[in-house]
Chains A and B, each alone.
Chain A
Amino acid sequence: MTQEKFLARLAEEVQLDRALSADEMLFDIAEWDSLAMLGALSVFDEIGVNVEIDELENCKSIKDILNKAGFDS
């Protein structure tokens, strides 16, 4: 999966009506809550990367999430 596709899937699972960009901070995204994190987990599962909710809770930015997914943003 490309980084672009990953971000599109992430936006879908977080239930955003817009695209996500790599330089966004998570505290600026009102929809980034525990439900969104569950959705994000499923995107990680799609690319075969095991990540725990605790790791997502510790992410501060979309860049952090991309790094966890193995993308060098």
Chain B
Amino acid sequence: MSQISFANIAITAMATTVGNNIIELEDEKERFGFDDDSFSRLQRSIGLKTRYIADEGVCASDLCVQSAENIFANSGIKKEEIEALLFVTQSPDYKAPSTAIIMQNRLGLPTSCGAFDINLGCSGFIYGLFTAFSYVNSGMKKVLLCVGDVNSYFSGERDKIFTPLMGDAGSAIIIEKKDAPRSFFSLYSDGSGYKHLIVPAGGARTPSTPETLIPKEREDGGIRRDEDLFMDGKEVFNFAIKTVPPLIKEIVEFAGKENDEIDYFVLHQANPYILKTIASRLKVEKEKVPLETGQIYGNQNAASIPGTINGFLSDEFSSKKLTIAIAGFGIGLSWGGAVIQTDNIYAPKTELYKKEL
């Protein structure tokens, strides 16, 4: 069990940018081949309403750059103070080089800044935050963490199983050395479940061919290419409800806290149904477990935790000292949690992507 705590390191700013196209699920019935009955059942069970999608050609890095520029323009934090840029994404601008290095240049950060990508999805914010905290713990003063995905990069155009759930977002977070209460992290991985969430082709194991780019109807009724993400919904649901409640219990205990000392449990917003099930098993007040992000913005992948904070809790995080438990879980399989305290951070409301930037 990897439990690590850090002293005197804190998040001081967090901003999120989402795709500027607001899609009503109702308008996508034909695209995904839903009949009226199955559509209405899906809406009632999963609770999806809208999702926010980027224009074609807009990358996750674009959303994150806008979020980072928001922070630099408005929080008093200066670009020349940044010593590392970490970019958690599964939709990089290119297969190589790391998109973080391109972002270093786009943002005008000093060349003395280290930069690299981290290939993770739903657990990515926790892992990225842990990495940033570790860098500050090693001696850096300020680190910029960016987390984001444009999910159309890897989701099937007509895949009714996965694509209707997904939204596009990019967040930027500043982590810096300052007087702050201890923070607590715990990380897990289980590669035996790698096939439950996977883009099967297009990598080195199964290279891209004309065949891997042909959309086909699959056993689960979804239409996907081999280069689109496959999700075994049942396995992922089972994994989430089995691992997340014990993870939260473990991390809150590690932090020496009780549940009633935690102001919010901000979990990866996979879909409202998984969250409702996890929330009921946590046995905490419903008000402490935000779960609307997936219904409104879609599953924002690694950006869903900051996406929830900027999307629904901006006023709270901007004006108060808060103790939060956060957890990310999913592709890998990979999961992790943390208990951290924030104190009047710069946390503006989520913004739409502006094309002119």
Q: Which residues of A come within 8 Å of B, CB atoms? A: 15, 31, 34-35, 38-39, 41-42, 45-46, 50, 52-54
For A45, the closest partner residue in chain B by CB is B280
Q: CB-CB contacts of B126-149 with A at 8 A, as 1s and 0s?
A: 000000000000000000000000
Q: Are A42 and B234 in contact (CB under 8 A)?
A: no
Q: Are A45 and B281 in contact (CB under 8 A)?
A: yes
Q: Are B277 and A45 in contact (CB under 8 A)?
A: yes
Q: Which residues of B come within 8 Å of A, CB atoms? A: 41-42, 44-46, 233-234, 237-238, 241-242, 273, 276-277, 280-281
For A31, the closest partner residue in chain B by CB is B41
Sort A-B residue pairs by CB-CB distance and give the 5 closest, nearest first. A45-B280, A35-B45, A53-B234, A15-B41, A53-B238
How many pairs of A and B residues are in contact by the CB < 8 Å rule? Answer: 31
- How far, in angstroms, from A54 to B239 measured CA to CA in the complex? 12
For A39, the closest partner residue in chain B by CB is B45
- How far, in angstroms, from A53 to B232 measured CA to CA in the complex? 13
Interface of A is mostly: helix
User: Would A15 and B44 be within 8 Å (CB), given that A45-B281, A52-B238, A53-B237 are in contact?
Assistant: yes
- List of B residues within 8 angstroms of A35 by Cβ: 41-42, 45-46
- How far, in angstroms, from A15 to B46 measured CA to CA in the complex? 13
Q: 7 extra interchain contacts, Cβ-Cβ under 8 A, other than A35-B42, A42-B280, A53-B234?
A: A15-B41, A31-B41, A38-B45, A41-B241, A41-B277, A45-B277, A52-B242
- How far, in angstroms, from A42 to B278 measured CA to CA in the complex? 10
- How far, in angstroms, from A69 to B45 measured CA to CA in the complex? 21
- List of B residues within 8 angstroms of A41 by Cβ: 241, 277
- Report the minimal beta-carbon distance from A22 to chain B, rounded to whole angstroms: 24
- How far, in angstroms, from A46 to B241 measured CA to CA in the complex? 15
- How far, in angstroms, from A46 to B279 measured CA to CA in the complex? 12
- Report the minimal beta-carbon distance from A60 to chain B, rounded to whole angstroms: 18
For B233, the closest partner residue in chain A by CB is A34
- Report the minimal beta-carbon distance from A29 to chain B, rounded to whole angstroms: 13
For B245, the closest partner residue in chain A by CB is A50
